[in-house]
Amino acid sequence: MGKIVSNFFIALDGVVESPDKWHFPYFNDEMGAAVGQGMETAEAFLMGRRLYDEWAAYWPQSDDDTFAPFINGATKYVVSDTLTEATWNNTTVVSGDVAAQLTKIKESTEGDIAMSGSATLVRWLLANGLLDELHLLIHPIAVGHGQRLFEDTPTHPLRLVRSTTFQTGVLHTVYAPAES
């Protein structure tokens, strides 16, 4: 059975919005290896509607030789009640009873179902018991503004699975929902 694994670049103050504006000074070979490892274990990619719209407009035309071949070739699932047709290759729209559909997808998948970029979707997955792991690359910066991973949410106890400190001061942490 597959598991849903969420990945985020996150600032110390919990900001996940617009990492392109604060993340890159911390990117090094260690972080590249961590991101690459996530791509190696991913059998599919899960995203929300906004990320789908952004990435479907960008990645199919990208000349990036690292991530573009992965994401363009990957099986993709987009959670949306408003998207009626997915034009990006290998994309399936998940709507209606999303929890039941994602449970079936997890049951039919061997590898990880990676996801990133949607704090709203992560919060929903946690609330519905569907998120298996939360990978955070915690950057030593307080951004001070922008969407935070957890805003006005219920409490979700998590347990630390593992952590690594990179030379840049970035912490790579892996959390799973705590057992009830």
List pLDDT tens digits, range 80-98.
Answer: 999 988 999 999 999 999 9
How do residues 145-174 score in pLDDT, each as one tens digit? 999 999 888 899 999 999 999 999 999 999
- The structure's pTM equals 0.91
- Show contacts of 25-30: CB within 8 Å, 24+ apart: 26/139, 26/140, 26/141, 26/166, 26/168, 26/169, 26/170, 28/166, 28/167, 28/168, 30/164, 30/166, 30/167, 30/168, 30/170
The model's confidence at residue 179, banded by pLDDT at 50, 70 and 90, is confident
Report, as an integer, the average pLDDT of 107-122.
Answer: 91
61: phi then psi, degrees, rounded to nearest 5 = -100, 0
Predicted pLDDT of residue 45? 94
For all residues of the chain together, what is the average pLDDT?
Answer: 93
How do residues 13-56 score in pLDDT, each as one tens digit? 999 999 999 999 999 999 999 988 888 889 999 999 999 999 99
For 42-115, where are the alpha helices, taking DSSP H only? 49-58, 67-73, 98-107
Question: Would the pLDDT of 180 be above 60?
Answer: no
Q: Where are the domains of the chain?
A: 3-177
Predicted pLDDT of residue 28? 95
Which CATH superfamily, name and number, covers 3-177?
Answer: Dihydrofolate Reductase, subunit A (3.40.430.10)
